[in-house]
Amino acid sequence: MFEQFVLTASTADLSEEPRAREHADAVEFRMDLASDPLGQIDAYDGELPLLVTNRASWEGGEADDLGRFDALSTALGDEAVAAVDVELAALRGNAPEGERSHATALRDTAREEGVSVVVSVHDFESTPEPATLVDLLADAASEGDVGKLATTATGPRDALAMIEATHEATAAGHRVATMCMGEPGRHTRAVTPVYGSKIGYAPVDPANATAPGQYPLATLRELVDGLRDGDTGE
């Protein structure tokens, strides 16, 4: 699914999907923020494929028990689901007890179903040095199909570090998705795709942004396409 850049429209309400079609390539469905998420998936008849995320509370989401894995596993059986997000900390055993076995089982199920696995890392405090970022991306990419890294930028140096790490990780053969959260790093959401980032995230409704610093969907589509067309000389 992620051979090329994929712009996902993030939402907790799949009835918003028609509004996303003009600009998005897929929908990130935030199951942890949704009402009756499995019911929504079962009733979904939209055109865009789904990336399902059931973010753990210890990683900034609202899913607070291991039942989130059962819900994700059920979702994988739906033909509209093309990708699933799993936290790197869960796969590596750096999360609360019980997470690792559930996370690896979910990844195995995804592979059996032909569903891509996005392995994610979030840092809500800072942005490490580029070498550390590259190591995190390599670790995440090695555990799934795409390694996703979102850090918090407090100034231009942090944004530059993420751009550099994106370039280096991509040059090393890793498939990655990168961005900085927060206003100082907002532009990385448009710029890192030029350097190899494969996934962008933007809310269908700007009032319901799922991370700090997100652009409106139409804006991010225009920015990414404009920068990438310029980069390729098209």
Secondary structure string (H, E, C) spanning the chain = CCCCCEEEEEECCHHHHHHHCCCCCEEEEEHHHCCCHHHHHHHCCCCCCEEEECCEHHHCCCECCCHHHHHHHHHCCCCCEEEEEEEHHHHHCCCCCCHHHHHHHHHHHHHHHCCEEEEEEECCCCCCCHHHHHHHHHHHHHHCCEEEEEEECCCHHHHHHHHHHHHHHHHCCCCEEEEEECHHHCCHHHHHHHHCCCEEEEECCHHHCCCCCCCCHHHHHHHHHHHHHHHHCC
Q: 41: which residues sit within 8 A by CB, 6+ positions away?
A: 14, 29, 50, 52, 75, 78, 80, 81
Q: Distance from CA of residue 233 to its chain's centroid?
A: 28
Give the residue numbers annotated as catalytic, written as ranges. Answer: 122, 148
